[in-house]
Amino acid sequence: MMDLDKDKIIDLQLVQSNEVGGSYHMELEGLKRSLTFLDDRGMTVNCIVTDRHPQIQKYLREEAKITQFYDVWHVEKGLSKKLEPMCKKKEFVKLRPWIQSIRRHMYWTAKTSNTADIRAAKWRAIVNHACNKHKDEPLFPKCLHPPRLTRDKKKWLTPGSPLVYKLDKLLYSKRLLLLKDVEKLSPHHQTSSVESYHSVIKFAPKSVAFKYIGMLCRLYLAGLHYNENAGRPQKIGQNGKPQWKLAFPKARKGECRARPIKVDATFGYVAGLMDLIFGHGPSAARAKSVCGSSEGNCNT
């Protein structure tokens, strides 16, 4: 569980599959334990950003009564997996130049909308825009970009064509629930920070099997490391300008991204752990005070 406002991990739960009758139920059980942990400490959760796990949707809607938003990347990824095979067909090859625009439109829709109705209205405008029609429904009367004279008219899709019919059915289908998913896209925070945390779990590599207590301790170490280094500033070069690097994400199939180079990570949490272990320093004094014993024996 992460506080997306402060970019800090506030709780970690480790669930074994044999506790809940299978791996499919592990994520929901971990969420329940984390919400209980926060509730016992007087913390109220107003909204939560997750992926589209069906069990979690039902639990948050019917039992926890917590407003749920969807991470845009997860929804966009699912849509891209459906658009890419379409472009391989000869009659739909004209769609390929529009895929990137559809992806960006989904992020823009989520970022610039405050209600579900507005998100749905903006999302429905993308097919009309691709057909060179820039006037839409009452909630979103027209596209916000300035009028442009198009030199290449072949790039526009043809209204009423099989391609537009197929695209319309895919983007707005009630059976696929994509329109309902767009209505619940998160307008403020995404779960990219959680994915960043997963990328730094070098303390518990998946290629090595650990016992339960060993895995739990390693996850706690990863949490401490992430919380200390999450807000690292961008590195400044000798010319006084921020430094960047080119990255080629595997999911983008050759597309490059400019990413900031951060300053080197720090490991100040190690000194605090050493104080606790060997009984020196202010951290050890606080631990003894919480445990209520001069010997440091703790039942929590």
| CA 124/CA 117 separation, integer angstroms | 11
Q: Please indicate, yes or no, if residue 255 is contained in any of the structural domains.
A: no
- For 182-240, what is each residue's pLDDT tens digit? 999 999 888 888 888 887 677 888 788 899 999 999 999 999 999 999 888 999 999 99
Helix (H) or strand (E) segment spanning residue 22: none
Q: Please indicate, yes or no, if residue 284 is contained in any of the structural domains.
A: no
Average pLDDT over residues 36-49: 93
| DSSP-derived secondary structure for 114-174 | SSHHHHHHHHHHHHHHHTT--B--TTS-B-SSPP---S-GGGSPPTTSHHHHHHHHHHH-T
> What is the reported pLDDT for 283?
57
With bands split at pLDDT 50, 70 and 90, how would you rate the model's confidence at 90? confident
Residues 176 and 100 in one domain: yes
> What is the reported pLDDT for 281?
61
Q: Please indicate, yes or no, if residue 8 is contained in any of the structural domains.
A: yes
| CA 132/CA 134 separation, integer angstroms | 6
| CA 20/CA 26 separation, integer angstroms | 6
**Domain closes at, from 153, 183, 213:** 183
48 contacts 32 by C-beta, under 8 angstroms: no
With bands split at pLDDT 50, 70 and 90, how would you rate the model's confidence at 65? very high
Report the mean per-residue pLDDT for the chain. Answer: 86
- 125 burial (CB, 10 Å; 0-12 / 13-18 / 19+) is buried
Residue 9 domain boundaries: 1-70
Number of domains in the chain: 2
| CA 102/CA 77 separation, integer angstroms | 12
In 51-135, DSSP assigns E strands to: 67-70
Q: Please indicate, yes or no, if residue 34 is contained in any of the structural domains.
A: yes
| CA 205/CA 166 separation, integer angstroms | 43
**Domain closes at, from 70, 85, 120:** 70
With bands split at pLDDT 50, 70 and 90, how would you rate the model's confidence at 287? low
Amino acid at 8: K
- For 250-270, what is each residue's pLDDT tens digit? 766 667 888 899 999 999 999
Q: Please indicate, yes or no, if residue 250 is contained in any of the structural domains.
A: no
**Bridge partners, residue 70, by sequence:** 50, 185
Residues 97 and 160 in one domain: yes
**Domain closes at, from 183, 218, 238:** 183
Q: Give the three-state DSSP class for 185.
A: strand
